[in-house]
Structure 1
């Protein structure tokens, strides 16, 4: 009995002398307020954009797009959001949003209230012939490096692996251009690559040349 009681006392002492750790208070993070909103318009697409585009992204995303986009390109971007990312847009909404964005953003510089956006210059004086920018800018503007890296697989294949796959293929440039423009799945796995209908032919060739040079 004494032995059992002694063991109990030893256990009780060990428990009572365990260090007591203070519980950390919750961490609070205060994000800065939004400084950019959709540019106002009397077009019905403005209302649609207010109701549905902000579900997935802020107005900053629109300001980051090339100001040389024409209505076809803006409509293609809205359709990509619908078909590739599940944006709650009807086909009618896609057309209205494309019309609104073309009328309100095409050929006009980005809003001046965000330093990162100031770096995006007006690509051209006309909306149909945007200037060709450098490859790094194209990669950044289209979030290419969010899914790809030069020498390792991320979501999609490494650019080096793509270049090796097409080595010696006389149709490599045209095929890679087509894959970038139209997207698709099954070539490198089940995760689909979204289409990029807003890219100009010269920009598509720049990107394809860059990939195949790795």
Structure 2
């Protein structure tokens, strides 16, 4: 009699298990890896975004404004004085990091040694692109 009770229960469990998808391996779709799009922006003017954001995160506006002289020259004056080329970008980035004096009067520019060189270059690229 025990066998008669367990047989329908086991069969029902097996049917329920099969109906719910138990025991089947689920196939996952493999996503094909797409080749990333590489954009050559070497001929594009530097974007204001990164350099402008980096400047906003520093204390630059204490001494500089885009179009008016404060303690130091305006970005427009700097852009007018220096040609936008790799040599000037490197020189001016060095002045941002190390500070400097004598190019714009007697008031020295404070050094910013915590700014990484690449960030300083992005900042200078933005400054040299202002007003042009």
Please report the TM-score for the alignment, with normalisation by the length of structure 2.
0.56
CA distance 1:134–1:168, change in 2 (3 Å): closer
Cα distance between partner residues in 2 of 1:191 and 1:153: 13
Whether 1:180 and 2:96 are equivalent positions in the alignment is yes
Tell me the SS of whatever aligns to 1:134.
helix
- The residue correspondences of 1:4-43 to structure 2 (distance < 5 A) are none
Whether 1:199 and 2:115 are equivalent positions in the alignment is yes
Cα distance between partner residues in 1 of 2:83 and 2:56: 26
Q: What stretches of structure 2 of length at least 5 have no aligned partner?
A: 1-48
Cα distance between partner residues in 1 of 2:56 and 2:84: 29
Give the length in aligned residue pairs: 82
Highest relative contact order (Cα 8 Å, sep 6+), 1 or 2?
2
Whether 1:166 and 2:82 are equivalent positions in the alignment is yes
Cα distance between partner residues in 2 of 1:180 and 1:198: 10
Q: CA deviation at 1:134?
A: 3.3
Structure 1 partner of 2:46? none
Cα distance between partner residues in 1 of 2:84 and 2:54: 26
Q: What stretches of structure 1 of length at least 5 have no aligned partner?
A: 1-132
RMSD: 2.0
**Bigger CA radius of gyration:** 2
Which segments of structure 1 move beyond 6 Å, counting only runs of 4 or more? none
- The residue correspondences of 1:42-121 to structure 2 (distance < 5 A) are none
Whether 1:143 and 2:40 are equivalent positions in the alignment is no
Cα distance between partner residues in 2 of 1:168 and 1:140: 21
Structure 2 partner of 1:157? 73
Cα distance between partner residues in 2 of 1:177 and 1:135: 12
Cα distance between partner residues in 2 of 1:157 and 1:137: 19
Whether 1:213 and 2:94 are equivalent positions in the alignment is no
CA distance 1:212–1:136, change in 2 (3 Å): closer
Cα distance between partner residues in 2 of 1:155 and 1:171: 25
Q: Is the 8 A contact 2:101 2:108 kept in 1?
A: yes
Q: CA deviation at 1:185?
A: 1.1
